Amino acid sequence: MDNHVLSVNNITKRIGKKEIIKGISFRIDKGEVFGFLGPNGAGKSTTLRMIVGLLRPTSGNIAICGHSITKNFIKAMSNVGCIIEEPDLYNYATGMKNLEMLGYMSKNISRKDIMDAVELVGMEKRIGDKVSTYSRGMKQRIGLAQALLHNPKLLVLDEPTNGLDPQGIFEFREMVKDLASEKNISVLVSSHLISEIQLMCSKVSIIKDGLVVKTGAVNDLVSSSEVYWVVDNLEKGKLIMKERFKVNAKIINNRLEAVIGLNQLEMVNASLVNEGLKLKYVNSKSKTLEELFLSLTENQKIT
Amino acid sequence: MMNQLIQNEVSKILLKKKMVLISVLLFLFIGLFSYGEKYTYDKTISRFEKITEDTSYDWKSLASQQMMELEKRLESPYIHEMGLKSIEIQIEQMKYFIENNINPITPSSARFSVDFVENAIIMFIPLMIIILASDLVSGEFSNRTIKVILTRSVPRWKVLLSKYIALLMMTTMVVLMIGAISSFVSFFFFRVWGFYEPVATGFKLINGELDANSVIMVNRMEYMVLIYSLAWFVSIAIASITFMISVLVKSTAAAIGIIMAFLIGGQFLQFFLSDWEIIKYFFVSNLNLTKYLTGAYQQIEGMSMKFSIMVLAIWSLVSIVISFVVFTRKDVLA
Ligand SMILES: Nc1ncnc2c1ncn2[C@@H]1O[C@H](COP(=O)(O)OP(=O)(O)O)[C@@H](O)[C@H]1O
Ligand SMILES: [Mg+2]
């Protein structure tokens, strides 16, 4: 048994003849906000549906807090709250009734738990009104309250800010970040918007056509840059980088080239100078997440 | 846990105002029918008074008058064979009633509520049940709340079972409502309860002839309980079959369309293709359980109460099994 909140191991999904998910693996630690970035049709929703037990993977396995979603659905799901695609509610009932009905579906949820969740999402004033009178943003809040009712360890959100206005997006994002930092809830959030992932997540998997094309810490992916140095002693420079910074630099066209984090650049430069090398020229070309995303997902064809 | 899940499902049905809709329909139709019956009765009397110029009639003289009218209709050259048989049976029955001192004429509340069910059992009551059952599962798919209820820590079979039990409860409710509303509304028109009048039941058709040998006498109240139990059984069968369709299709409109097509198509089939053996195994052909007690004309030979109950029970069981198997394995893409 592993101690990841979520571990997804090489899952695939075939619907009809089409293989929609072709082998996706990733893990989420406690309190981590994990982004799932990919263009429309990449397979984000399909993957999330498998994680919350709505679809059965064709192969591979998924464990939530160590419990397999297919073999031990009840235990696994008692640790998950989710909003898949839209926050869909019973329009003919009040917000409160919607929450109560879901409350009955988990063990030991008291009136107070429900009120706490309502307060957490700031819906106290309108909770007694029918859902049909709510705005999209209010429905999203009720959806979040439903997802949090049973104090889950993992929150799964599928494109949660779709259809919200900028104010709503901002508030929702702050709410999710608070949850992760204060309650130590892990969050898996999918989006086709880079900015969203960049603002919310610490780690990201970029997926395309049902495959993970890159996984990494958002900071690394955003701030790593291709740097080249022109120095008098290339070999010595390479050695310094290797020994001090564990960076594998290459000597190309009489320059030293490496990919490093921008925060490291000043220190690298200082070391090179301190070691007596003559630093003639430094150039860095930083890659934004957007460029990375585009370069990874280009040549997208409708399949 | 299970209790609370059932409570959820009952609240959903109530919040959708289904029971309100059903009550309104029941009041409307029952009001209309009992008014109609009152109207016919008043007419019979005024006709009788006109013909005989006698105002001190009793039900026996009314019954003989009615028998005479039926016999007159037999002589009509335009009557088709089925109608002929049906009238002959009615005449035989009328004779039996007069001989045995049973009043088949004066309308009473208890008699109306039985008559109503006998007529409503093949179409009107199933329609009420369809209103209840058709969107029970498909509705969760069309408003996509299915993903919300299937992503809680409750196994799918429990979710479905709670829906089915809620449906059984509401179905029972509807049958009781039909009994209560038809008794009270018709009493308003007839001013006679008639719960303790004798009833002759158990007429048999042997080779198309009425056989009164197995007739037993009960009072209206007992007969009402019997008829309503049969109506309840038919309702459960319709509920179970509609429930299955609601699991199999994703849209409520499609679910209603399919079950209605069965119901109406089935009535046609048993009328036009009554010689085709397989028709009698179709559930729609077996809905009219009460006709086995009243000795009404049967279109299909070789069917009995026992047979119809078996057919309906098997259809219900198979429906439930299919519902559970499909629902617990279904990929939810809605
Ligand atoms: N029911 C279905 N049958 C067949 N293909 C589907 C079905 N649902 C989705 N797909 C396909 O699966 C792919 C992934 O869809 P989805 O997971 O919704 O993508 P995303 O959420 O990343 O936009 C798409 O190419 C879509 O066409
Ligand atoms: Mg999607």
Q: pLDDT-derived band of residue A302, with 50, 70 and 90 as boundaries?
A: very low
Answer whether A104 sits within 8 Å of B7, measured CB to CB.
yes
* A18 ligand 1 Cβ < 6 A: yes
Residue-averaged pLDDT of chain A: 88
Of A47-56, A94-103, A107-116, give the lowest mean pLDDT range.
A107-116
pLDDT for position A303: 45
Cβ burial A246-278 (10 Å sphere, 16+ → b, else e): ebebeeeeebbebebbeebbeebeebbeeeebe
Sort strands B204-206 and B198-201 into parallel, antiparallel or unpaired.
unpaired
Listed residue (A140, A108, A120) closest to A185, CA to CA: A120
Nearest to A101 among B11, B16, B332 (CB): B11
How confident is the model over A103-113, as pLDDT tens digits?
Answer: 999 988 999 99
How confident is the model over A254-286, as pLDDT tens digits?
Answer: 888 887 777 778 888 888 888 888 888 888 776
Listed residue (A221, A251, A260) closest to A271, CA to CA: A260
Contacts 24+ apart (CB under 8 A), B139-142: B139/B246, B139/B252, B141/B250, B141/B251, B141/B334, B142/B250, B142/B251, B142/B252, B142/B334
Which residue type does B279 have?
Answer: I
pLDDT for position A287: 62
The whole-angstrom separation of Cα B260 and Cα B257 is: 5
Q: CB atoms < 10 A from the CB of A290, how many?
A: 12
The whole-angstrom separation of Cα A216 and Cα A35 is: 10
Whole-number percent of chain A with pLDDT over 90:
51
Mean pLDDT, residues A53-64:
95
What residues pair up with A208 in beta bridges, in sequence order? A211
pLDDT for position A191: 92
Which residues from chain B sit within 8 angstroms of residue A92, using beta carbons?
Answer: 15-16
Cβ burial A128-157 (10 Å sphere, 16+ → b, else e): eebbeebeebbbbbbbbbbbbbbebbbbbb
Give Cα B198 to chain centroid, integer Å: 22
Indicate whether A165 and A275 sit together in one domain: no
Mean pLDDT, residues A58-84:
95
**Tokens 């191991």 -> residue:** A9
Pocket test for ligand 1, best of A22, A37, A45, A211 (most atoms within 8 A of CB): A45
First to last CA, chain B: 26
Indicate whether A108 and A231 sit together in one domain: no
Mean pLDDT, residues B87-100:
80
The whole-angstrom separation of Cα A32 and Cα A187 is: 6
Pocket test for ligand 1, best of A12, A15, A20, A188 (most atoms within 8 A of CB): A20
Contact (CB, 8 A) for A7 and A187: no
Contact (CB, 8 A) for A82 and B151: yes
Out of A219, A243, A277, a domain closes at: A219
Whole-number percent of chain A with pLDDT over 70:
93
The whole-angstrom separation of Cα B211 and Cα A53 is: 61
Nearest chain A alpha carbon to B151: A52
Which residues from chain A sit within 8 angstroms of residue B7, using beta carbons?
Answer: 104
pLDDT for position B64: 82
- Distance (Å) from CA B134 to ligand 2 centroid: 29
**Residue A18 falls within a domain, yes or no?**
yes
Q: Taking each helix axis from N to C terminus, what angle separates B2-15 and B18-52, rounded to the nearest 10 degrees?
A: 60
Q: Which atom of ligand 1 is nearest to the CA of A46?
A: 17
Sort strands B216-219 and B198-201 into parallel, antiparallel or unpaired.
antiparallel
The whole-angstrom separation of Cα A38 and Cα A51 is: 17
Indicate whether A162 and A42 sit together in one domain: yes
Answer whether B15 sits within 8 Å of A146, measured CB to CB.
no
**Spatial strand order in the sheet of A6-15:** A18-28, A6-15, A59-64, A67-68
Question: What distance in Å separates residue B195's CA from the closest CA in chain A?
Answer: 42
Indicate whether A89 and A152 sit together in one domain: yes
Indicate whether A202 and A291 sit together in one domain: no
What residues pair up with A283 in beta bridges, in sequence order? A228
How confident is the model over B181-237, as pLDDT tens digits?
Answer: 999 999 999 888 888 877 777 777 777 777 777 777 788 889 999 999 999 999 999
Contact (CB, 8 A) for A190 and A48: yes
Indicate whether A213 and A227 sit together in one domain: no
pLDDT for position B51: 77
How confident is the model over B162-179, as pLDDT tens digits?
Answer: 999 999 999 999 999 999
pLDDT for position A29: 93
**Spatial strand order in the sheet of A203-208:** A80-83, A154-158, A186-191, A33-37, A203-208, A211-217
Listed residue (B131, B172, B183, B224) closest to B27, CA to CA: B183
The whole-angstrom separation of Cα B271 and Cα B269 is: 5
**Residue B182 falls within a domain, yes or no?**
yes
The whole-angstrom separation of Cα A238 and Cα A270 is: 14
**Residue B64 falls within a domain, yes or no?**
no
CATH number for position A277: 3.30.70.980
Residue-averaged pLDDT of chain B: 88
* A54 ligand 1 Cβ < 6 A: no
Indicate whether A127 and A43 sit together in one domain: yes
**Tokens 């420079």 -> residue:** A237
Indicate whether A207 and A240 sit together in one domain: no
Indicate whether A111 and A54 sit together in one domain: yes
**Tokens 């006679």 -> residue:** B192
Contact (CB, 8 A) for B258 and B245: yes
**Residue B83 falls within a domain, yes or no?**
no
DSSP letter assigned to residue B144: S
**Residue A148 falls within a domain, yes or no?**
yes
Say which residue, B101 or B171, is predicted with more confidence.
Answer: B171
Mean pLDDT, residues B38-49:
85
Answer whether B332 sits within 8 Å of A104, measured CB to CB.
no
| A29 touches B: beta carbon within 8 Å | no
Out of A191, A219, A247, a domain closes at: A219
- Distance (Å) from CA A90 to ligand 2 centroid: 22
**Residue B316 falls within a domain, yes or no?**
yes
**Residue B197 falls within a domain, yes or no?**
yes
| A15 touches B: beta carbon within 8 Å | yes
**Residue B273 falls within a domain, yes or no?**
yes
Which domain does B320 fall in, by range? 2-48+106-329
Contact (CB, 8 A) for A20 and A46: yes
Sort strands A255-261 and A250-252 into parallel, antiparallel or unpaired.
antiparallel
Pick the residue whose CA is nearest to atom 3 on ligand 1: A15
Q: Give the burial class of B203: count Cβ atoms within 10 A of its Cβ; 0-12 exposed, 13-18 middle, 19 or more buried.
A: buried
Indicate whether A289 and A212 sit together in one domain: no
Nearest to B5 among A74, A78, A104 (CB): A104
Please work out, in degrees rounded to the nearest 5, the angle formed at the alpha carbon of residue B69 by the alpha carbons of B65 and B71.
Answer: 115
Indicate whether A123 and A266 sit together in one domain: no
Ligand nearest to the CA of A207: 1
* A20 ligand 1 Cβ < 6 A: yes
B151, B158, B162, B250: best mutation site toward chain A, by most A Cβ within 10 Å? B151
How many domains is chain A partitioned into structurally? 2
Which tokens is B183 given?
């008794």
* CB-based contacts of B53, cutoff 8 Å, min separation 6: none
**Residue A289 falls within a domain, yes or no?**
yes
Indicate whether A75 and A215 sit together in one domain: yes
pLDDT for position A301: 47
For residue A295, pLDDT beyond 70: no
Which residues from chain A sit within 8 angstroms of residue B15, using beta carbons?
Answer: 90, 92-93, 97
* A15 ligand 1 Cβ < 6 A: yes
* Model-level ipTM above the cut of 0.85: no
* CB-based contacts of A291, cutoff 8 Å, min separation 6: none
**Residue B306 falls within a domain, yes or no?**
yes
What beta strand segments (E) does A148-249 contain? Answer: 154-158, 186-191, 203-208, 211-217, 224-231
Listed residue (A157, A155, A147) closest to A99, CA to CA: A147
For residue A1, pLDDT beyond 60: no
DSSP SS3 for B312: helix
Question: How many residues are listed for chain B in this entry?
Answer: 334
Say which residue, A82 or B94, is predicted with more confidence.
Answer: A82
Mean pLDDT, residues B23-28:
96
- Distance (Å) from CA A209 to ligand 1 centroid: 10
The whole-angstrom separation of Cα B275 and Cα B253 is: 33
**Residue A303 falls within a domain, yes or no?**
no
Contact (CB, 8 A) for A88 and B140: no
Q: What is the pTM of this model?
A: 0.85
**Residue B59 falls within a domain, yes or no?**
no
How confident is the model over A169-212, as pLDDT tens digits?
Answer: 898 899 888 888 888 999 999 998 888 888 889 999 999 899 99
* CB-based contacts of A217, cutoff 8 Å, min separation 6: A202, A203, A204
Which domain does A214 fall in, by range? 6-219
Out of A162, A187, A219, a domain closes at: A219
Pick the residue whose CA is nearest to atom 5 on ligand 1: A15
The whole-angstrom separation of Cα A128 and Cα A97 is: 8
CATH number for position A79: 3.40.50.300
Of A45-54, A157-166, B39-48, give the lowest mean pLDDT range.
B39-48
Contact (CB, 8 A) for A243 and A276: no
DSSP H/E element including A241: helix A234-245
Using a CB–CB cut-off of 8 Å, the residues of B that contact A are 1, 4-5, 7-8, 11-12, 15-16, 143-145, 147-155, 329, 331-333
Mean pLDDT, residues B310-317:
97
**Residue A67 falls within a domain, yes or no?**
yes
Answer whether A88 sits within 8 Å of B154, measured CB to CB.
no
